[in-house]
Amino acid sequence: MILVTGGAGFIGANFIHAWFKHTDEPVLNLDKLTYAGNLANLAKLNDDPRYLFTRGDINDRDLLGTLLNQHHPRAILHFAAESHVDRSILGPGEFIQTNIVGSFHLLEMTRDYWNRLPDTSQDGANKRDFRFLHVSTDEVYGTLTPEDPPFAETNPHLPNSPYAASKAASDHLARAWHHTYGLPVLITNCSNNYGPYQFPEKLIPLVIHNALAGKPLPIYGDGMQVRDWLYVEDHCLAIMRVLAAGQPGETYNIGGWNEKPNLEVVRTICGVLDAARPRADGRGYAEQMTFVQDRPGHDRRYAINAAKIERELGWRPGESFESGIVKTVGWYLEHADWVADVTSGAYRQWVERQYGGRG
């Protein structure tokens, strides 16, 4: 059994699907179901005995203790977070509470559980083989100029947004829990993901959604900010590889060597949509591109040096940006109902009916 936090979100849900493609080992998903957590992402697993779900908050120590004692996971994969930079600028409080304080509670309860595990065992969780994998971001490294080399694991943490600062803080906590208490922690820092189930507030799904809805495609500033794009399933496979073979106490950067300016990303999406779902008036979706005010403190360039995970663990991305973006646009075209549910509030109403105010 593994425990996944935040498994109803974009990457967590993709991770659980990828996990069951490779193993039958059960997964317990602990998720608060914030606006970003969506059980529809995991609907295919509703009757699957390998999958368990608990709605709850990583800040709830009693719940964490109960789940750990009941299910005896051999590993914890910590995805749960507030993840959107723009929201962190508008209201940083939840980012501090979940990403820093919540990670602290999770680390403390994990330490307590790990200390009580047997040193070794033939089957089941044991102290020697237990792992806590902290899923983090390249944003902790700050921003790059066009001349800088890509971020290596040895780069200092120089976060610029409230989101990045909260993730950097949790990286430091995870690192310290290894250094001080010996907890077998692994940390991954990944670049921008894209693919199925991403909430349409992030650039790629937002552009697809707005394009089809005939709305403006907002380009922040001059649109020449660079991000390093990775197809989400490649990220999930990298996490599995780190869990299986990573060295406790080590950090692994994950990225696809796929740097692109935002303008190029948006134009590519428009081109794919022009071919797959031409506008009724025969004109191109690129006409909807609209330059808007820049994000405050907007990081200019992220780029990941993924040499360590490639060299030490043999991981390589399988998808190029060109193939991944075609798959992604195709997924959103086929799942208009999913997009409608998360954007209209229908899904939130279902969560409230199902769970009330708890979470």
Q: Binding of ligand NAD at residue 6 (CB under 6 A)? A: yes
Q: How far apart are the first and last CA of the chain?
A: 23
Considering only residues 142 to 201 of the shown chain, the ones binding ligand NAD according to CB under 6 A are: 167, 190, 192-193, 199
Q: Indicate the residue among 32 and 157 with the shorter CB distance to ligand NAD.
A: 32
Phi and psi torsions of 231, nearest 5°: -65, 135
Helix, strand or coil, per DSSP, at residue 159? coil
Please answer whether residues 304 and 259 qualify as being in contact, where contact means their C-beta atoms are separated by less than 8 angstroms: no
Q: Is 138 annotated in the active site?
A: yes
Q: Binding of ligand NAD at residue 267 (CB under 6 A)? A: no
DSSP assignments along 48-63, one per residue? -TTEEEEE--TT-HHH
Q: Which amino acid is present at 127?
A: K
Q: Indicate the residue among 67 and 211 with the shorter CB distance to ligand NAD.
A: 67
Distance CA 19, CA 13 (A): 10
When CB distances are held under 5 to 8 angstroms depending on the partner's kind, the choice from ligand NAD, ligand DAU, none that residue 73 binds is none
Q: Is 220 annotated in the active site?
A: no
Nearest-approach distance from CB 179 to ligand DAU, in angstroms: 24
107: its two tokens = 């680390």
Nearest-approach distance from CB 123 to ligand NAD, in angstroms: 29
Distance CA 239, CA 285 (A): 35
From candidates 2, 3, 4, 10, binder to ligand NAD by CB under 6 A: 10
Considering only residues 203 to 222 of the shown chain, the ones binding ligand DAU according to CB under 6 A are: 203, 206, 218-220
Residue closest to 92 by CA, chosen among 166, 37, 39, 185: 166
- Contacts with ligand DAU, 296-335, as mask; x by CB under 6 A: ------x---------------------------------
Q: Is 341 annotated in the active site?
A: no
Cross-strand partners of 28: 3, 52
Considering only residues 237 to 276 of the shown chain, the ones binding ligand DAU according to CB under 6 A are: 262
Q: Which amino acid is present at 310?
A: E
Nearest-approach distance from CB 88 to ligand DAU, in angstroms: 9
Q: How far is CA 5 from CA 90, 256, 258, in A?
A: 25, 24, 28
Residue 180 is inside which H or E element, if any?
Answer: helix 162-181
Q: Indicate the residue among 101 and 212 with the shorter CB distance to ligand NAD.
A: 101
- Interface contacts to ligand NAD, rule CB under 6 A: 5-6, 8-12, 31-34, 36-37, 57-59, 79-83, 98, 102, 135-137, 167, 190, 192-193, 199
Known catalytic residues are 138-139, 163
